[in-house]
Amino acid sequence: MNLDQADTNLLGSLRTGYARRGDHASAIQVGIKLLEGAVASVGVVSKSKQHADVVIAFVGVLKSAGDLAHVRTRPCARSMARDLAAGLGAIPKWFQDYIKNAPKALQPDALMALAGLRHDEWSALVADLAIAAQQAATPPATRLAQRGSAVELDVAGRLSRLADADAERVESQSSMPEYDRSENGLKLLRVEATGFRGSSTTVGLDLSRKGKPIDLLLWGDNGVGKSTIVDAIEFALQGRIDRSADFNSSLRSSPRNLQKPEAVARVTLDDGSVVERSLRKNEARRDVATSDPVRPGFRLAPVVIRRADILRFLDTEALSRGTVFFDYFPEPDGSIAMRPDELLNLDREEMFALRVTRDDLGRQLAEMYPDCLEDLTTAQGVDRLVETLLEEAPVDDVDDPLDSIPPDARALIGEQRQVQQRLKELKGRLERGVENLNPRANSRQLSRTMPAFHGISEDVTASFLEITGADHVRAIRVMVGKSGPVSLDVVVDFTNGTHALPQQVFSEGYRDLIALLFFLAVTKKAGQLGQAKVLVLDDALQSVDSGVRLGVMDHILTTFSDWQLIITGHDRAWLGQVSALYRARGRTYQEQVIRRWTFDDGLHLGGSAWTVADSVREALTRGDARVVAGTTGLLLEQICHELSWRLGVRIERKQDDRYTLGDLWPGLNKALAGTALADQAKKINLRVSIRNLLGAHYNEWADSISWRDIEELAESALAVYTATNCQTCNDWVKRRGPALACLCGSTRVGSR
């Protein structure tokens, strides 16, 4: 039978009555029924205390019965009590005393006489009670878990369902603050840097054409100084570099050129204002930036997206990935936000410098007092040194006993104590550093970041599908604060109904693409809220798969059509592709190539990318006949390559479409015969063999070729190049009606 509390109380009263009348046999029988009821009741309700009370009350009955029972059955009562104790936790002291010397074995005849049970019946009841005791102490939900099957840990699927649930909620948990939008339309006209990064001199870069801001393609080999320009822009506008205000890290490049006492970055904006910020050493010999406030148009988001940002996003675990964006969307009070990990990094870097300083000060004190055996890097050691110095010094003729310590020692001791106190403070902050990920500590930042991410999933999905054409992907879901208080989870939903995390199914290039699209979408959101529409992409596309890279760039040019873009890179073939996209989009830009870097002079800017035509002109200036012939041949090949398909020149197909100048030039010469370039084409046609005779192969007798013929070939080729390649839009002419014209129309070739 199942017993509730009322039944238990009733049987307890009956048991007590039987015991008072000395009818212990009846009391024991009632008690056994009570035990059986307690076993059965565990399936209904779990109350470990009630279960234990029943067992202990029955032991009380056994003890009373045993005390009055025949000497033959008395040990049996204690053995029965001992058996019951095995299924309980803590038992009263009288219970412990009663079973202390209980026999280990039960006598079957004594058990039958005392309780009316066979040995096997008693053993079964004791076993059931032990199981029931364990069940009674286990919450029902835990017992259900023990009965259930293994939990399915399909993280991606569960996160996707959470995203579906989020879609049913209101648009955001809290609204975004109102930011100052007065500088939303600002653009950059010029950037200058002096004593900055790799440039000890002043380097300047024009970002305008005819007084209007334009895009910039800044190219150069790794290590020639692109970061000098990019970092100067970020430092001037936002007072940080690589999203960090730590300018003294031993693990980063120094922002200040080590040959100069001061680094200055200056940006001219298209409203006529100039933003300038400098970096110089303070009294502690640490680089400190001037405290000029950040302009309203540059407070919301970092102006630079770097390859390092993409790696930081991917390498940060999902539970704290949301903090990667904590330097976006600050309080609208004029301050600029910082990530929690960046605050901790600043403390770590300061601790590193302080430890080195502490050890050096300890060394100086040890040299000053070589007989001192104390560790003078510790607070206790310094205190004992001061005590010793005060004990040994005459103090009668000084007002303050500390003045009796030599001035040099006083200065060192004072500095050491300052360092030790600051180290103690920083150590405490770093030990509490985990609190930076606490939702309460970052609640205000979370309240701004989470609504800013609303709609990001749709943007990233649409961009990803447009660029990749991955028709097996249904959606890329982004969730904030689901798997943790500051988490940011990304899940891929497939058209077949399955789900996965990006790192489970995508190549590194695709994962980089998702990260880049995410940064772009959040930056776009900042622009909608008031951020100035200026964005620097510092080598950010080089890691994206080459198969989709061009699509990413085209997407950026379309999505950020009203933004000023500054794009850096080092791959010259990639520069050619980007330039072609700009021309196709009719978007105004300029190229700047950093030719080289030297320790003394820093960056050497070379204007636009060095073309084959530039090589021809340089060779003409030097009068180098062989080089002129060779580079002119390359220039003619380029002209033929670009114009043959634009002008519809007929050629005889070759295997793998590998064509030489001899294959392409005759058809192009015929196409130009009816244009204003006919005379130049004729001059080239008469002298084109010079390219092979002098510029492509060694022929001793070719040195006798007239310089005038070589020069005529080069100048005619340059004339055709200049007339057919637009310097405004960087496009080549093609047939547009009766004339040949470029994309922007400023370069035209009329008929003869």
Identify whether residues 107 and 158 lie together within a single domain: no
Residue 171 has a pLDDT of 47
Q: Up-side HSE of residue 701: CA atoms within 13 Å toward CB?
A: 0
From residue 238, alpha-carbon distances to 231, 244, 323, 532 in Å are 10, 10, 19, 12
Residue 172 has a pLDDT of 43
Determine contact, residues 677/749, Cβ cutoff 8 Å.
Answer: yes
Residue 170 has a pLDDT of 40
Q: What angle do CA 504, 509, 511 make, to 5 degrees?
A: 45
Boundary (domain end) residue, out of 406, 436, 466: 436
Identify whether residues 217 and 73 lie together within a single domain: no
Which of helix, strand or coil describes residue 505?
helix
Asked whether residue 218 is assigned to any structural domain, the reply reads yes
Identify whether residues 123 and 54 lie together within a single domain: yes
Helix residue spans in 477-571 (DSSP H): 502-505, 508-529, 546-559
Determine contact, residues 518/303, Cβ cutoff 8 Å.
Answer: no
Q: Computed over its alpha carbons, how large is the radius of gyration of the chain? A: 43
Asked whether residue 617 is assigned to any structural domain, the reply reads no
Q: For residue range 452-463, list pLDDT tens digits in order.
A: 888 888 999 999
Asked whether residue 336 is assigned to any structural domain, the reply reads no
Asked whether residue 691 is assigned to any structural domain, the reply reads yes
Q: For residue range 643-683, list pLDDT tens digits in order.
A: 988 888 888 777 766 777 888 889 998 989 889 999 999 99
pLDDT band at 606 (very low <50, low <70, confident <90, very high): low
Rounded Cα distance, 349 and 287, in Å? 13
Residue 48 has a pLDDT of 65
* Domain count for the chain: 5
Residue 334 has pLDDT above 60, yes or no: yes
Q: For residue range 473-488, list pLDDT tens digits in order.
A: 999 988 877 777 777 8
Identify whether residues 247 and 382 lie together within a single domain: no
Residue range of the domain that includes 59? 5-147
Identify whether residues 255 and 158 lie together within a single domain: no
CA dihedral 577, 578, 583, 586 (to 10 degrees): 150
Reduce the secondary structure of 395-432 to three states and give it as a string.
Answer: CCCCCCHHHHCCHHHHHHHHHHHHHHHHHHHHHHHHHC
Residue 1 has pLDDT above 50, yes or no: no
Residue 212, domain CATH: 3.40.50.300
Identify whether residues 193 and 253 lie together within a single domain: yes
Identify whether residues 159 and 21 lie together within a single domain: no
Identify whether residues 581 and 698 lie together within a single domain: no
Identify whether residues 636 and 660 lie together within a single domain: yes
Q: For residue range 544-595, list pLDDT tens digits in order.
A: 777 788 889 999 999 999 999 999 988 877 887 888 888 778 888 888 888 7
Which of 99-108, 608-617, 631-640 shows the lowest mean pLDDT across its residues?
608-617
Asked whether residue 306 is assigned to any structural domain, the reply reads no
Helix residue spans in 401-541 (DSSP H): 407-431, 443-452, 456-468, 502-505, 508-529
Which of helix, strand or coil describes residue 306?
strand
Among the ranges 102-116, 240-254, 557-571, which has the highest mean pLDDT value?
557-571
Which of 382-386, 388-392, 471-475 shows the lowest mean pLDDT across its residues?
388-392
Residue 554 has a pLDDT of 92
Identify whether residues 463 and 590 lie together within a single domain: no
Among the ranges 183-197, 609-623, 703-717, which has the highest mean pLDDT value?
183-197
Reduce the secondary structure of 36-68 to three states and give it as a string.
Answer: HHHHHHCCCCCCHHHHHHHHHHHHHHHHHHHHH
Residue 467, domain CATH: 3.40.50
Among the ranges 98-102, 184-188, 405-409, which has the highest mean pLDDT value?
184-188
Q: And the tokens for 494?
A: 């497939």
Residue with the larger pLDDT of the pair 170 and 406: 406
Boundary (domain end) residue, out of 436, 456, 487: 436
Determine contact, residues 423/361, Cβ cutoff 8 Å.
Answer: no
Q: And the tokens for 161?
A: 């369902």
Question: Helix (H) and strand (E) counts for the chain?
Answer: 26, 19
Phi–psi pair at 87, nearest 5 degrees: -95, 5
Identify whether residues 262 and 348 lie together within a single domain: no
Identify whether residues 650 and 737 lie together within a single domain: yes
pLDDT band at 426 (very low <50, low <70, confident <90, very high): confident
Boundary (domain end) residue, out of 147, 170, 197: 147
Rounded Cα distance, 194 and 201, in Å? 6
Asked whether residue 567 is assigned to any structural domain, the reply reads yes
Asked whether residue 309 is assigned to any structural domain, the reply reads no
Asked whether residue 107 is assigned to any structural domain, the reply reads yes
Q: For residue range 291-315, list pLDDT tens digits in order.
A: 888 999 999 999 999 988 888 787 7
Rounded Cα distance, 704 and 697, in Å? 15
Q: And the tokens for 43?
A: 């399936």
Residue with the larger pLDDT of the pair 412 and 284: 412
